Amino acid sequence: MKGTNVRVFCGIGWAEKHHDVALVDDTGKMLAKARVSDDVTGYRKLLDLLAEHGDTEAEPIPVAIETSRGLLVSVLRAGKRQVFAINPLAASRYRDRHGVSRKKSDPGDALVLANILRTDLHMHRPLPTDSELARAVAVLARAQQDAVWNRQTVANQLRSLLREYYPAALDAFVTGRKGGLAHPEARAILAVAPTPARAAKMTKTQITAALKRGGRQRRTEAETIRLREVFRAEYAHQPPLEPPLAEEAMGRQMLALLRQLDAAAEGVDDLAEAVEPSFQQHPDADVITSFPGLGSLLGARVLAEIGDDRSRFADARALKAYAGSAPITRASGKKRYVGRRFVKNDRLVHAGYLWVFAAIDASPGAGAHYRRRSEHGDWHAAAQRNLFNRMLGRLYHCLQTGQPFNEQRAFTPFLEAAPA
């Protein structure tokens, strides 16, 4: 066991079935290296190796690894140990400092990671110490967001197929219709009318029954008439052969995609139902949902990405940089460029786009801010990003102080300048 006056750093080259471990001291001397399996036995071997070199609950050895998730990371984060998730791109840049041959190996990567902490620990942030409830909200919110993206992917595949043989379905459910092909009514109709020929033969009773299965309760008669007219209108078709083999084959393909869309839509709804009660139990929920444009579901996505570790971001600028809303400056000699960030948290960016899109209508101050930025030459995306940047600054302040959002204090200059 090493003396307490020696600082030890650990690097782990992560892989699927095994992990390479390297320990170095504060002079860069290799103290130990090992390969552990990705199971309970391997984790125990790793913890024993750390303990042999001075790892204690009071003074745990910091660990660098190229991932922030998984059972190995969960084991390492137990207690007060700092775990640093090093971006693989950053690790590859450090690798060039140790040799120019461009050789690469898992044991070598572990050594590089350990030396990153030895030389530049202050330049990297450890994984945040979020509460268990915040981590649970993050799991559910990210899963729900993935389910939404998956649903849209399947809906796009279905739309692409319908363009080839069934344009009436696109006119009925896509053009100017909220929800599109993922809407329960559209899925209910397509399930019983997978081809344009079958759709044209549907009676009013059949259409009405399908709409009710899709959940429609109001204006059913008017929607039935509209769909019947669309399905019986004149469209281009696949070659009119008897029997229409190609059209029937595409109908079978469409039904297969429709089943995938049904499953994706069900997953979205189930996860949304799980996210909201978990988020509402969190102490930060009231502050987050006090902001215009943030409801329970979108608020849960924001909480999932920023967490509840108050020390995670040094100031509001750090949060804005993490979200990609703060501009970045590149200057060299006489050249100077100020533009948007490309390295950012994409999930938080997506949530921020939806947030400010809703806030523009929900908040007079946010709407005035957006219009002023547009009048000064910002395009739509740039004006939204600037508004998101301002809202994040207010959110950071409110979370740090426990205060709800205040419209007047957040947008005083813009409200005063807005026309009466």
Please check the confidence at residue 300 and state whether its pLDDT lies above 60.
yes
Query: CA neighbours within 13 Å on the CB side: how many for 105?
Result: 11
Q: Return the pLDDT at 417.
A: 59
Residue count (the chain): 420
Q: Which segment of 51-55, 75-79, 81-85, 159-163 scores lowest on mean pLDDT?
A: 75-79
Is the CB of residue 183 less than 8 Å from the CB of residue 216? no
| Bigger pLDDT: 6 vs 324 | 324
Rg (the chain; Cα; Å): 28
The runs of H, that is alpha helices, within 13-120 are 40-52, 71-76, 88-95, 106-120
Strand partners for 336: 331
What whole-number distance in Å separates Cα of residue 416 and Cα of residue 365? Answer: 9
Rounded percentage of the chain residues whose pLDDT exceeds 70: 95
What is the per-residue pLDDT across 203-213, written as a single tens digit (0 to 9) for each? Answer: 999 999 999 99
Q: Return the pLDDT at 89.
A: 86
Angle ∠(121,123,125) on CA atoms, nearest 5: 80
What whole-number distance in Å separates Cα of residue 2 and Cα of residue 56? Answer: 12
Please check the confidence at residue 71 and state whether its pLDDT lies above 80.
yes
Q: Band of the pLDDT at 419, cuts 50, 70, 90?
A: low
Rounded average pLDDT over 137-157: 96
Query: CA neighbours within 13 Å on the CB side: how many for 321?
Result: 9
Q: Considering the chain, what is the average pLDDT of its residues? A: 90
Q: What is the CATH architecture assignment of 9-123?
A: 2-Layer Sandwich (3.30)
Q: Band of the pLDDT at 2, cuts 50, 70, 90?
A: very low
Q: Residue 257 corresponds to which tokens in the numbers above? A: 């995609």
Characterize 108-129 residue by residue with b for buried, 16 or more Cβ atoms within 10 angstroms of its Cβ, and e for exposed.
bbbbbbbbbbbeeeeebebbbe
What whole-number distance in Å separates Cα of residue 284 and Cα of residue 302? Answer: 11
| Bigger pLDDT: 100 vs 141 | 141
| Predicted model pTM | 0.85
Characterize 73-88 residue by residue with b for buried, 16 or more Cβ atoms within 10 angstroms of its Cβ, and e for exposed.
bebbbeeebbbbbbee
Rounded average pLDDT over 70-96: 88
Q: Residue 126 corresponds to which tokens in the numbers above? A: 């450890």
Rounded average pLDDT over 357-362: 94
Q: Return the pLDDT at 1.
A: 46
Q: Band of the pLDDT at 343, cuts 50, 70, 90?
A: confident
Q: Band of the pLDDT at 346, cuts 50, 70, 90?
A: very high
What is the per-residue pLDDT across 40-68, written as a single tens digit (0 to 9) for each? Answer: 999 999 999 999 998 888 899 999 999 98
Strand partners for 24: 9, 30
Rounded average pLDDT over 327-356: 88
Q: Return the pLDDT at 272.
A: 95
What whole-number distance in Å separates Cα of residue 410 and Cα of residue 365? Answer: 8
| Bigger pLDDT: 116 vs 409 | 116
Q: Band of the pLDDT at 90, cuts 50, 70, 90?
A: confident
Q: Return the pLDDT at 398.
A: 95
The amino acid present at 109, given as its one-letter code, is: D
Nearest to 228 by CA among 285, 267, 171, 176: 171
Cis peptide before 243 (omega within 30 of 0): yes
What is the per-residue pLDDT across 109-128, written as a single tens digit (0 to 9) for each? Answer: 999 999 999 999 988 889 99
| Bigger pLDDT: 254 vs 242 | 254
**Sequence-ordered list of residues with C-beta below 8 angstroms from that of 256, at least 6 positions apart, any chain:** none
Is the CB of residue 33 less than 8 Å from the CB of residue 20? yes
Q: Residue 305 corresponds to which tokens in the numbers above? A: 């990405």
Q: Band of the pLDDT at 35, cuts 50, 70, 90?
A: very high
Q: Element (H or E) spanning 339, and its range?
A: strand 335-339
Is the CB of residue 49 less than 8 Å from the CB of residue 21? yes
Q: Indicate if the alpha-carbon torsion angle 50, 56, 57, 63 is positive or negative.
A: negative
Is the CB of residue 112 less than 8 Å from the CB of residue 91? yes
Please check the confidence at residue 3 and state whether its pLDDT lies above 50.
no
Q: Residue 144 corresponds to which tokens in the numbers above? A: 């729900």
Q: Element (H or E) spanning 34, and its range?
A: strand 30-37
| Bigger pLDDT: 70 vs 281 | 281
